[in-house]
Chain A
Amino acid sequence: MDRRDFLKRAAAAGAGAIGAPAMNSSAQGQEQPPADAETLTVDRTGSDFMVDVLKSLGFDYICANPGSSFRGIHESVINYGGNERPELITCCHEESSVAIGHGYAKVEGRPLGVFAHGTVGLQHAAMAIYNAWCDRVPVYVMLGNQLDATMRRPGAEWAHSVQDAASMVRDYTKWDDTPMSLAHFAESAVRAYKIALTPPMAPVVLVLNAEMQEQPLGSSAKIPIPKLAVPAPPQGDSAAVAEVARLLVNAEHPVIVADRLARTPAAIRHLIELAELLQAGVIDQGGRMNFPTRHPLNLSQARGIADADVILGLELSDFWGVINTFRDQLNRGSRPITKKGTRLISITSGDLYMRANYQDFQRFTEVDLAVAADGEATLPALVEAVKRLVTADRKRAFESRGAKLREASAAALERARLDASYAWDASPVSTARLCAEVWGQIKNEDWTLVNGTGGWARRLWDFDKAYQWIGGSGGAGVGYGAPAAVGAALAHKRHGRLAVNIQTDGDLMYAPGVLWTAAHHRIPLLSVMHNNRAYHQELMHVQKMCNRHSRGIDRGRIGSELVDPPIDFAKIAQGLGVHAEGPITDPKELGPAIARAVQVVKKGEPALVDVVCQPR
């Protein structure tokens, strides 16, 4: 008799006994199982095999807030699997679990695993999954669920069971499955991994039936685990690439705009080569670390869209927003920034896959040439195509153009320094001063900025390595920053890098328990609070409404400010086991406090410095 039959019989026996509810049977004393009952504790279970599969896929970590619907695989990870590759990371919220996976994947280039309840856990995780979807990042989510109603324990397990667990997030995941056997699980687990890592990357979901996790595997089981072969990303059509090269070489003012381009360090090298060949300006929108901030052709601050006669967009999340302004005032409207006749070229894997319901695909852009392909994979061919077309005449023109761009880039850096000097000694501390003070303490370390607004840091800091920036949340879902920073720091830990997080106050308040996760797992991470004591972007929207109605804005802060009482983030962090100082309001105290925190982080622990800042 298998476990299923045993439980059915036991339930029937319980229901038939003096009409007592089954859930009270334990109160009636120790029941004796039928003589032919199977012992449930077995040497190996289905979840042991699932761990074999996860190990074959190379998962280093599983993030989870514990849940009974995946107790089987939880136990298999820590005992059968030895809690090594994968190691369980204890999380205090499923949103944190997924966002840790989001940050981790952008550093490592591959996912970690997430366990969650198929119901309440996934409901918590949903926003973080949506962020990862919008950011085109692979997160590998495994949901516990009990499909067989007759196997459910009375009470919470019913509330935690669902017919189609993945349906809630199906609009913003790339693929999901509910395997019905272990062999099915093995195939779907490998398939899910492969799909998640094929550009455009995205989260995937597997539903792990609780019954299948806990059933005996049997000593003679020889279930094959399929071999993983992640597909090579699609490269652009050769004729289209040749046409892109022709347009770029013949352009007077080509501008390259990159957003979620770089999947690997190779992308930066290829983009530098392309820009230098053409002496074309590059605008790095910061979805990934695409181009060194102080490269003389970096126009991210100087811009140059208005001058462009050809714009090459590489993995842009919003091409329309690059070439248009949008005014959200008494009159709502837009106008193009580009001059008439500017040719627009798009290379993006976003053209290969799109869903309908959630609208993260942005406004439609009338491009002249659309190459549906992975930007990074296409760059080498584009570089070679450009090389073939460059003549001596064009090269001279390129050099003249490059000289002007170098001047513009240098001027932009000087302008950034001048801008940063204003309100230098102000209290609350200016955002520029905050970033300059952090830079002063980390610039001689092997540093990486794993979260932050990016604005001032990217203006003032010298970013030149692929791992020094990973972009933002993707879906602008607040609550991403702190857990993604912890996930990225977890990935950087093995490389000995100093991970820095410029952490906003509103974001941290979503799930501050992630600081405990960092402390518990000894994840070195320097968090410097940009604490402006408000959900400031939303405050500005409310201000707009106040102004629109000419009602004055003195009440506009209601509902957006985080004051009265002001939040003491140092005390929160200390209570969660993290070294912390603050709140700091005097900018002169900031450098020494950051220096002390850096020393803690270099010893392998997280640290936090709370800084009361100006709004933006």
Chain B
Amino acid sequence: MKQAFLVVAFASVSVFAQAPVPVQPAAAPPGEAGKGKTLFVKNGCYQCHNYEGQGGAAGARIAPTPPPFRGFVDYVRSPRGDMPPYAAKVMSEQDLADVYAYLRSRPRPPAVATIPLLK
């Protein structure tokens, strides 16, 4: 199954395409980051996106700068890729607001240039 995940992740990438324009996150409803962390783990988000939301082999990076909240919710409800959908009865709008707050609370990474191992 790993191959399928990878194929989806890279399917639409073109080496000749223009870089996407960054979108500023829209205002999100209030959420509690601590509760969001618990929900992030309990609901298995970490399995693809890892505990810090940094992404990995199976899921995109979603922290510390997640997409705008409304798009975030829409995607969680009806994902286009291989991500499983989360119905409202599994994760409510407030749950997602808490998770969103958790993602935004994650520290920004150190600059690559300051990490000798990545030079």
Contact = CB atoms under 8 A, between A and B. Distances in A.
Contact of A430 (B10, B52, B86): B52
Contacts, number: 159
A543 B56 CA distance: 17
B84 A543 contact: yes
A550 B107 CA distance: 32
Contacts of A546: 44, 84
Interface in A296-334: 299, 302-307, 318, 321, 324-330
A543 B47 contact: yes
A386 to B, nearest CB: 22
A424 B109 contact: yes
Interface stretch (A14-22, A174-182, A433-441, A463-471): A433-441
B118 interface: yes
Nearest to A283: B10
A540 B43 CA distance: 11
Secondary structure type dominating chain B contacts:
loop
Given A422-B54, A536-B47, A616-B56, A553 B14 contact: no
Interface stretch (A195-203, A413-421, A479-487): A413-421
Contacts of B61: 419, 422
Given A421-B109, A543-B47, A615 B16 contact: no
A455 B111 CA distance: 22
Select the residue from B15, B42, B115 with max chain A CB neighbours within 10 A: B15
Given A303-B13, A304-B15, A547 B51 contact: no
27 contacts: A253-B16, A306-B12, A321-B3, A325-B4, A337-B7, A405-B15, A408-B15, A414-B112, A421-B112, A424-B109, A428-B51, A430-B50, A431-B56, A431-B57, A436-B115, A436-B118, A453-B57, A537-B1, A539-B44, A539-B47, A540-B44, A547-B85, A554-B42, A556-B44, A614-B46, A615-B50, A616-B57
A143 to B, nearest CB: 33
Given A405-B15, A550-B90, A540 B48 contact: yes
B85 A615 contact: no
B60 to A, nearest CB: 10
Given A417-B112, A422-B55, A423-B54, A329 B44 contact: no
A318 B1 CA distance: 13
Contact of A419 (B7, B55, B84, B87): B55
A537 B13 contact: no
B117 interface: yes
Nearest to B86: A547
Contacts of B109: 418, 421-424
B73 interface: no
Given A303-B13, A616-B57, A424 B47 contact: no
B47 A544 contact: no
Contacts of A554: 42-43
Given A281-B15, A327-B81, A615-B48, 12 more contacts: A302-B13, A303-B10, A306-B11, A328-B4, A419-B61, A425-B110, A439-B117, A440-B116, A537-B1, A547-B90, A554-B42, A554-B43
Contacts of A33: none
A417 B54 CA distance: 13
Contacts of A616: 47-48, 50, 56-59
Nearest to A453: B57
Nearest to B12: A306
A306 B48 contact: no
Contacts of A330: 85
Interface in B1-57: 1-4, 7-8, 10-16, 42-44, 46-48, 50-52, 54-57
A420 B79 CA distance: 25
Contacts of B111: 421
A552 interface: yes
Given A302-B15, A321-B7, A440-B117, A553 B50 contact: no
A616 B6 CA distance: 12
Contacts of A421: 109-112, 115, 118
A430 B90 CA distance: 28
For the complex of A and B, the 6 pairs showing the least CB-CB separation, nearest first, are A547-B84, A422-B54, A423-B52, A408-B15, A421-B109, A423-B54
A307 B15 contact: yes
A26 B35 CA distance: 74
A330 B83 CA distance: 10
Contacts of A440: 116-117
A511 B46 CA distance: 28
A404 interface: yes
